């Protein structure tokens, strides 16, 4: 493979302006992440009460269990951002992948300082997504349980549907049956539905004095039976470890619980992250030849101005080397082979609009990677497939459909990063959320919608005015229509709107992207080779 040339002029005015604008974007991201971790109105008192009870914060709990110095890839930190008057920072739950004795585990930890750890809709969705990632990547789950269960004022949005609270129990049972360990540490209340998290676990540790499990807490028991009972007498650690058998181990402190949990993990016979299988080719990693910081100046602050995705690739891949496939044809999509942290990967990246030849080139390349069992990375920055009479005559609908079908039927691991725009069917052809990439991350400059705000303003205004034929419409009314449409699309295509609703697995900095992708590929390397079926490559 040859290194990608670096034509970037770091001294140009445009590069400097882009860098300044992106650094402001990253400052906003940092501020909002900090709010999700430490902020929230009235939360300071909740945190103080949590500490007064001798309890540890959710992320500190994960640190106490994980290997010292090992990376932790937190997921969906900004879930729920901007919803419910921002009363649920981080959706009240922490999820992510960490290492114990070199083995990757999915952590699901309730944050009891957010509404007592109760789960509102985004929190349920976040837990479901974490469990789905665990199942697909064959990870055991560790539940650090400190939750009041479902958030009852929104019970219609968290209880009855397929992927609501019951879906978390369904997934837990299915993963246990698949041989993926389900381990719980009870660090607070596990009430009503929350009681089933430890009850469905393979092994359970309870911390005396703070851990409790009951289907109905003391207020419910009093209301239903007239029985007055203390919390520990109803569902404390001693009762469940020595009498009911719901718990398997009782410890006196959180620190003792995490030491014991590490012992349990050691005896689960799970694969370490450094075990590499022959199907996923690996060589000694090399750092990119060009600094990742350049990305801040390469990505244009004006989203209407395109940038060369090859310059992004050169700052993510080993030695900045990229074996480009069909470089002289379909140039609005760049595809080729590279390595990220030593792992071979096929990359498909946008340079704007997807034309028919781009769709066919991408389809051909997807089939090559599927044939050769090479994981795929999609770097999205597109306004979608080309429109117009010439494009329709050229078969853009059919050729775009070929690309979409190839993505849907490709069986190798797929990963997606939104590095710019993600509009229309381009989102689908480039393996958006609906096409089940194993992980999907987004940059803070990204946008996702059926179309850009400029386009939506024109199209929908024309449609609206067409439906008002015969009516007298003033210029002020037309301006109001345009403003309303633009505001809606700008709000709903904003990356924070998207990540709040878990349309991605987290907003990340371009500077952290190579490491995040390295973790994702290392997880895939632990598994058996994918069964790709028909390996014929059809030249499109």
- Helix ranges, 39-147 (H): 43-52, 58-65, 121-136
List, in sequence order, every residue forming a beta bridge with 448; answer none if it has no partner.
Answer: 422
Task: Tell me the pTM.
Answer: 0.94
Report phi then psi at 347, rounded to 5.
Answer: -115, 135
Summarised one tens digit per residue, pLDDT across range 401-418 is 999 999 999 999 999 999
Summarised one tens digit per residue, pLDDT across range 451-509 is 888 888 888 888 888 777 656 788 888 888 899 999 999 999 999 999 999 999 999 99
List, in sequence order, every residue forming a beta bridge with 441; answer none if it has no partner.
Answer: 417
pLDDT of residue 160: 86
pLDDT of residue 11: 95
Residue 501's SS3 state is coil
Summarised one tens digit per residue, pLDDT across range 271-303 is 888 755 556 888 999 999 999 999 999 999 998
> Confidence band (pLDDT; 50, 70, 90) for 147?
confident
Give the start-end residues of each E strand in 260-361.
Answer: 323-325, 333-340, 343-350
324 vs 528, residue with greater confidence: 324
pLDDT above 70 covers a percentage of the chain that reads 97
**Residue 362: CA count within 13 A, CB half-sphere:** 36
pLDDT of residue 471: 67
Chain center to CA of 379? 15
Which of 58-67, 96-105, 148-157, 235-244 has the weakest average pLDDT? 148-157
> Confidence band (pLDDT; 50, 70, 90) for 190?
confident
pLDDT of residue 276: 54
Helical pair 121-136 and 165-177, crossing angle rounded to 10 deg = 20
Q: Mention every residue, 6+ apart, whose C-beta is less than 8 A from residue 494.
A: 447
Helices (H) and strands (E) in the chain, counts: 21, 15
- Contact in structure between 431 and 437 (CB atoms under 8 Å): yes
A 10 A CB-CB count for 122 gives: 25
455-469: burial string, b at 16+ Cβ within 10 Å, e else: bbbeebbeeeeeeee
Average pLDDT over the chain, rounded to an integer: 92
The torsion defined by the Cα of 148, 150, 151 and 157, in degrees rounded to 10, comes to: 170
The closest alpha carbon to 316, from 458, 508, 503, belongs to 508
Chain center to CA of 192? 28
DSSP 450-471: SS-HHHHHHHHHHHHHHTTTTS
Which of 199-203, 278-282, 394-398, 519-523 has the weakest average pLDDT? 278-282
Taking residues 61-80, what's their average pLDDT?
A: 97
Token pair 């990632």 is at which residue? 133
Which of 115-119, 139-143, 227-231, 274-278 has the weakest average pLDDT? 274-278
The closest alpha carbon to 164, from 193, 196, 132, 125, belongs to 125
Q: How far apart are the first and last CA of the chain?
A: 25
pLDDT of residue 494: 96
**Structure-block tokens of residue 178:** 């698949």
pLDDT of residue 518: 96
pLDDT of residue 255: 96
Distance between CA atoms of residues 26 and 309, nearest Å: 20
Residue 34's SS3 state is helix
The closest alpha carbon to 134, from 122, 126, 123, belongs to 126
Summarised one tens digit per residue, pLDDT across range 100-127 is 999 999 999 999 999 888 888 999 999 9
pLDDT of residue 275: 55
**Structure-block tokens of residue 440:** 């999907």
> Confidence band (pLDDT; 50, 70, 90) for 191?
confident
């Amino acid at each position: 493979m040859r290194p990608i040339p670096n034509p970037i002029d770091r001294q140009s005015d445009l590069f400097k302006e882009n860098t300044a604008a992106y650094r402001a974007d990253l400052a906003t991201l940092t501020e909002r992440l900090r709010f999700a971790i430490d902020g929230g109105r009235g939360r300071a008192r909740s945190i103080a009460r949590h500490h007064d009870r001798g309890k540890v914060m959710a992320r500190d709990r994960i640190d106490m269990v994980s290997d010292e110095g090992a990376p932790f890839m937190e997921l969906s930190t900004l879930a729920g951002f901007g919803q419910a008057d921002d009363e649920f920072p981080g959706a009240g739950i922490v999820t992510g992948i960490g290492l114990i004795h070199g083995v990757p585990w999915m952590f699901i930890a309730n944050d009891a300082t957010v509404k007592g750890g109760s789960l509102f809709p985004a929190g349920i969705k976040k837990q479901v997504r974490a469990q789905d990632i665990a199942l697909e990547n064959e990870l055991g789950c560790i539940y650090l349980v400190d939750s009041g269960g479902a958030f009852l004022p929104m019970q219609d949005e968290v209880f009855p549907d397929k992927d609501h609270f019951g879906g978390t129990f369904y997934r837990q049972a299915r993963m246990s049956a698949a041989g993926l360990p389900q381990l719980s540490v009870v660090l607070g209340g596990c009430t009503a539905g929350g009681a089933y998290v430890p009850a469905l676990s393979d092994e359970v540790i309870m911390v005396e004095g703070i851990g409790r499990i009951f289907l109905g807490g003391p207020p419910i028991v009093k209301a239903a039976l007239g029985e007055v009972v203390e919390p520990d007498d109803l569902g404390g650690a001693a009762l469940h470890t020595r009498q009911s058998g719901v718990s398997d181990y009782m410890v006196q402190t959180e620190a003792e619980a995490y030491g014991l949990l590490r012992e349990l993990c050691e005896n689960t016979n799970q694969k370490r992250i450094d075990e590499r299988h022959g199907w996923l080719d690996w060589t000694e990693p090399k750092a990119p030849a060009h600094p990742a910081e350049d990305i801040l100046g390469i990505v244009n602050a004006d989203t209407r101005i395109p940038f060369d995705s090859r310059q992004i690739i050169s700052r993510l891949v080993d030695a900045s080397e990229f074996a480009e496939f069909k470089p002289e044809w379909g140039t609005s999509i760049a595809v080729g082979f590279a390595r990220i942290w030593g792992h071979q990967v096929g990359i498909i990246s946008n340079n704007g609009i997807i034309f028919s030849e781009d769709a066919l080139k991408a389809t051909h390349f997807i089939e090559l990677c599927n044939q050769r069992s090479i994981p795929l990375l999609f770097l999205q920055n597109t306004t979608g497939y080309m429109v117009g009479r010439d494009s329709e005559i050229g078969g853009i609908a059919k050729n775009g459909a070929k690309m979409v079908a190839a993505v849907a039927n490709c069986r190798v691991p797929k990963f997606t990063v939104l590095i710019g725009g993600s509009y229309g069917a381009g989102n689908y052809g480039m393996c958006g959320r609906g096409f089940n990439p194993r992980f999907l991350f987004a940059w803070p400059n990204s946008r996702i919608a059926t179309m850009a705000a400029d386009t939506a303003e024109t199209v929908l205004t024309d449609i609206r005015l067409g439906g008002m034929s015969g009516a007298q419409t003033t210029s002020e009314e037309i301006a109001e229509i345009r403003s309303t449409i633009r505001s809606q699309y700008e709000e709903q295509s904003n990356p924070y709107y998207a990540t709040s609703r878990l349309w991605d697995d987290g907003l990340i900095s371009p500077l952290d992207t190579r490491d995040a992708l390295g973790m994702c590929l290392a997880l895939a390397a632990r598994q058996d080779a994918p069964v790709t079926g028909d390996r014929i490559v059809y030249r499109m």
